[in-house]
Amino acid sequence: MSSTWSNKISFSVFGESHGPAIGVCMDNVPPGESIDLEKIMQFMARRAPKKDGTTTARSEADMPQIVSGYFNGKTTGTPLTALIKNTDQHSGDYLKLSKLARPGHADYTGALRYRGFSDPRGGGHFSGRLTAPLCFAGAVAAQILEKRGIYVGTHIAEIHKIKDDPFDPIKTSREDIIALRSREFPVINEKKGKLMIADIKKAKECQDSVGGIVECIAVNVPAGIGSPIFDGLENSIAHLIFGIPAVKGLEFGAGFNAARMLGSENNDEFYVNDQGHVVTRTNFHGGILGGISSGMPITLRVAFKPTPSISRPQETVDYSAMKNETIAIKGRHDPCVVPRAVPCVEAAVNIALLNHMLDYPNF
């Protein structure tokens, strides 16, 4: 099924943007894991609209109601299911657009795939609204991982060619990651963050939008996690990352820059450190070799396209009448999805890591 990810852990995301509720069902979550609901809400609040004018005005409480798999503060081992009510829909904004193919959206392709029966309101099942259940699942995974010392962090690496300082691929610490989580606009260099905010607001004023890049790092992942060929760490992370709407690219470690390097430059030399651990002097491989963790921080970057919902007039078609039309999209939309995508990337990586950590001895 397209909305189910199934491996050692499986989870299904369900619902539509303007339906009564959205949700997630996770299976094979280890039993007896303590889950702090307040921390779940803190994680999901990072995905909520920002107060700085860079995101949509749609405001949802996103209060997950756990209906199974959780008892007395712990997971039971049976399917963990959470419902999240939709309470702030403006469905009328989409009535006149129901047969118009919004440029950059899945309206046309979705209508073809589901023979015209898909819910068009707010993008339906293709909406970024469906990242809320993903964040719930990722927040659960995060708590299980962090009890084992594994921390995943994310920040806005770039908005429309304005670049934040990158993570240190070797020295980034748990404390660095935790500090980022408390920032309303999650960047390392706050001066660059202010420039990004100004650029997003400028695009909004021009009835346009901008894209950007989210950088992610996972620290304290033990060496030896993952598998080769089709079930590697990169494979699992990529599969989940591309389930986030608006993602158009993904790279690990040096990524595409590796194609511009010599082997002598790209190879990370091994050595035994003062603690007796095998590590590398550099981390161009991004913490993964042959689909298996090396023990170095796992690093990746995710590219997001500009929000396709923009107010300026665009040419399109009425696919029900097969005629050309002009469209100007109204309603409440993010001029840039990147600030709200930061915890979504983190959630996807958390789930992938937990999935592979289940194979780790004495997990």
Q: What is the pLDDT of residue 59?
A: 62
| CA 140 distance to own-chain centroid | 14
Burial class (CB in 10 A: 0-12, 13-18, 19+), 282: middle
Q: What is the pLDDT of residue 107?
A: 84
Q: What is the pLDDT of residue 170?
A: 98
pLDDT tens for residues 234-279? 999 999 999 999 999 999 999 999 999 999 999 999 999 999 999 9
Q: If you average pLDDT over residues 312-318, what whole number do you get?
A: 89
Amino acid at 52: D
Q: Is the pLDDT of residue 10 over 80?
A: yes
Domain spanning 4-357, CATH architecture: 4-Layer Sandwich (3.60)
pLDDT tens for residues 45-78? 999 887 766 666 656 678 899 999 999 999 999 9
Whose CA is closest to 218, among 330, 354, 105?
354
pTM of the predicted model over 0.75:
yes
Whose CA is closest to 200, among 248, 159, 247, 245?
159
pLDDT tens for residues 114-173? 887 777 776 778 788 899 999 999 999 999 999 999 999 999 999 999 999 999 999 999
